[in-house]
Amino acid sequence: MGLVTTTEMFKKAYSGGYAIGAFNVNNMEIVQGITEACAEEKAPVILQVSKGARAYANPVYLKKLVEAAVECYPDIPIALHLDHGPDFETCKSCVDGGFTSVMIDASSKPFEENIAITKQVVEYAHAHGVVVEAELGTLAGIEDDVKVSAEDSSYTRPEEVEEFVSRTGCDSLAIAIGTSHGAYKFKPGTKPQLRFDVLHECEKRIPGFPIVLHGSSSVPQEYVTMINTFGGAMPGAIGVPEDQLREAARSAVCKINIDSDLRLAMTGTIRKFFAEHPEKFDPREYLKPARANIKELVRHKLIDVLGCAGKA
């Protein structure tokens, strides 16, 4: 089926009451773990690449890895998306490089400036058949090299979404309702609560329009414990409760971003492997179980959190 845009995926997700998983990819094993799970579970998927991933792996390698997945799994829809595009030039480079979707993240800019930059990206992307995700509101946590404290984060203002969407022409909108980037989110003993009231207010003002949640890792305790048991020093954190994400996926939320959980699975598995096999040094031997655990974690997300298994 080749690479697809998210248009059709979101239409079906909206009416079907589920969300598409958007997983960050940085190397071959991550691409393989995610797409093997999606192929087995017959789930559409968004593979996304950040500015940091482009700098690490070289955009050409990432594009080719995703193309390899498309060739291996022709029966599932796969979109290639730029995550947190920082400026017009980066978005343009991805549009020119064959991405099917880009995010322009000008959410830290004033409203009018966010609109102007987003509109510029939309005009270029749409002229090339590429869709655009934009963002309103500010999430807490760490994304690329930007760190936002909880005090500096701010929920999306529902009264702004309609004007933003109609003036920019964007295709989906990331909103801030209490999720947070990174693997350190939410202190043990607290009760994270997404602001469903804000989500539903936004939904009401832009009916039928796909909403995106960033910062939606749930920090699996199994992997935090594994990392710490085998020499790591991860502070305790509890992530976004999965039942709340499942509830969000039933609403207008059509795309849920998960990155940190996959990193925890990979790191925990490799740490455990080395501790148990100090004599081993073949990367294939330690990357194989890491890839297998990413696959199982993605399978769990597709079935129990996103609800998109069987929707390809």
Q: Among all residues, which ones are annotated catalytic?
A: 83
Q: Could you say which of 83, 133, 135, 171 contacts ligand 13P (CB under 6 A)? A: 83
x/- mask, ligand G3H, residues 76-105, rule CB under 6 A, reads: -------xx---------------------
Write out the two tokens for 122. Answer: 């939309």
Please give the residues from 145 up to 204 whose contact with ligand G3H meets the rule CB under 6 A: 181
Nearer to ligand G3H, 22 or 290 (CB): 22
214 binds Zn ion (CB under 5 A): yes
21 binds ligand 13P (CB under 6 A): no
Which residues are CB-contacts of 164 (< 8 A; sequence separation ≥ 6)? 111, 114, 115, 118, 134, 136, 170, 173
* Contact assessment for residue 213 and residue 229, using Cβ atoms and an 8 Å cutoff: no
Q: Could you say which of 39, 53, 103, 194 contacts ligand G3H (CB under 6 A)? A: 53
Cα Rg of the chain, angstroms: 18
Which residues are CB-contacts of 89 (< 8 A; sequence separation ≥ 6)? none
CA distance 102 to 91: 6
272 binds Zn ion (CB under 5 A): no
Q: Count of residues binding ligand G3H (CB under 6 A)?
A: 10
* Contact assessment for residue 240 and residue 215, using Cβ atoms and an 8 Å cutoff: yes
Nearer to ligand 13P, 181 or 272 (CB): 181
Which residues are CB-contacts of 180 (< 8 A; sequence separation ≥ 6)? 139, 140, 141, 150, 153, 186, 215, 240
52 binds ligand G3H (CB under 6 A): yes
> For residue 230, which of 301, 142, 289, 299 has the smallest C-alpha distance?
289
By CB under 5 A, which span of 56-64, 212-220, 278-286, 303-311 interacts with Zn ion? 212-220
* Contact assessment for residue 287 and residue 294, using Cβ atoms and an 8 Å cutoff: no
Angle at 22 between CA 80 and CA 220, to 5 degrees: 145
DSSP state of 210: -
Q: Could you say which of 258, 306, 308, 309 contacts ligand 13P (CB under 6 A)? A: 258
272 binds ligand G3H (CB under 6 A): no
Look at residue 144 and give the partner it binds from ligand G3H, Zn ion, ligand 13P, none, a contact being a CB closer than 5 to 8 Å depending on partner kind.
Answer: ligand G3H
Beta-bridge partner residues of 65: none
Residue type, 247: E
Q: How far is CA 300 from the centre of its chain?
A: 16
135 binds ligand 13P (CB under 6 A): no
By CB under 6 A, which span of 51-59, 91-99, 227-235, 253-261 interacts with ligand 13P? 253-261
271 binds ligand 13P (CB under 6 A): no
CA distance 205 to 132: 19
Look at residue 242 and give the partner it binds from ligand G3H, Zn ion, ligand 13P, none, a contact being a CB closer than 5 to 8 Å depending on partner kind.
Answer: none
Residues contributing to the site for ligand 13P (CB under 6 A) = 24, 83-84, 181-182, 214-217, 257-260
Residues contributing to the site for Zn ion (CB under 5 A) = 214
Residues contributing to the site for ligand G3H (CB under 6 A) = 24, 50, 52-53, 83-84, 143-144, 181, 259
